[in-house]
Amino acid sequence: MLTACGFKSAQAPQDPARILGDLRRGHFDEALKAARQGQKEHRAGAEPEFHLLEAEAYLAQRLVEPALAILIPLRISTPNLETRRKVDLANALLKKRDFAGANALLDRLITQGGSGSQDPNIVEAMILRGASSWFAKDPDTAGDFWRQATERAHQSGDAYHEGMALSNLASLPYTQGRWDQAKLYYERAQAALQQAGATYLRSIALSNLSVCYAQLGDLDQALRMLSQSIEMQKGGAPSTL
């Protein structure tokens, strides 16, 4: 960028927290570009989080093979980031429908995390484990994982994972046509996701909430929810669910 004097100003270094924010807002291309730039700005071996963010940008777009190409050979010495890598790897396996591989990895992480762990990585592992149970047509087990994840995230003040877990939990009554119960979960989910600044997932929750209101006969509120969802998606990426 040129200054008033015509010289190029120094570009601010890439910030992992900002890139993660881009991902949660659905700005996947921007996040991917910034993650790659962050790798170039740091010494070899000092940029594992930027590699994780690149993989997560691919996973957000369901591009599993490029994500696996990063995650499998990546070696991380920081325990928290290594746990995150394993959660991302399980997410990739789940997207490939390798349920056995994903479950084995997730079960180990959840067990190692300990009873009542509020580590966001472990909470996300529980959400993914619930999704795997859902795909296996075991809604009871899925619901158990999602309820535990909701409680742990709420206790730790982790609004992002609380909203994610609640959105998944809402799918149980939603697919059964229990619109009142689904509405309550989606309302809580969108409020938590709003607090977390996660406009991408919030737009999906609002879209589903719109269906609940329509099924309950409140068409005005359904339209308001749908309008909010559309406006949010204009600022990010379209729903891939």
Q: How far apart, in whole angstroms, are the C-alpha atoms of residue 190 and residue 225?
A: 10
- Quick one: pLDDT at residue 147? 97
Q: What is the mean pLDDT of residues 197-217?
A: 96
Nearest to residue 23, comparing CAs of 56, 51, 67, 49? 56
Cα→Cα distances 139→69, 170, 171, Å: 32, 12, 10
Residues of the chain with pLDDT > 70, as a percent, come to 90
In three-state secondary structure terms, 2 is: strand
Total-model pTM: 0.89
- Quick one: pLDDT at residue 4? 45
- Which tokens is 192 given? 């938590």
> Is pLDDT above 70 for 44?
no
Residues of the chain with pLDDT > 90, as a percent, come to 82
Q: What is the mean pLDDT of residues 90-110?
A: 97
Burial class, 195, CB count within 10 angstroms (exposed 0-12 / middle 13-18 / buried 19+): middle
- Quick one: pLDDT at residue 116? 82
> Is pLDDT above 80 for 236?
no
> Is pLDDT above 70 for 238?
no
What's the full length of the chain, in residues? 241
> Is pLDDT above 50 for 237?
no
Q: What is the mean pLDDT of residues 95-116?
A: 94
Q: Tokens 């979960």, residue?
A: 185
Lowest-confidence segment of 161-165, 218-222, 236-240 by average pLDDT: 236-240
Q: How far apart, in whole angstroms, are the C-alpha atoms of residue 167 and residue 146?
A: 9
Nearest to residue 198, comparing CAs of 173, 165, 176, 174? 165
Q: Confidence band (pLDDT; 50, 70, 90) for 67? A: very high
Q: How many CB atoms lie within 10 A of CB 21?
A: 16
Q: What is the mean pLDDT of residues 212-216?
A: 97
Backbone CA torsion sign across 98, 101, 104, 108: negative
Please give the residue that has the higher pLDDT: either 107 or 4: 107
Q: Confidence band (pLDDT; 50, 70, 90) for 3? A: very low
Q: Confidence band (pLDDT; 50, 70, 90) for 93? A: very high
Q: How far apart, in whole angstroms, are the C-alpha atoms of residue 172 and residue 193?
A: 19
- Quick one: pLDDT at residue 232? 87
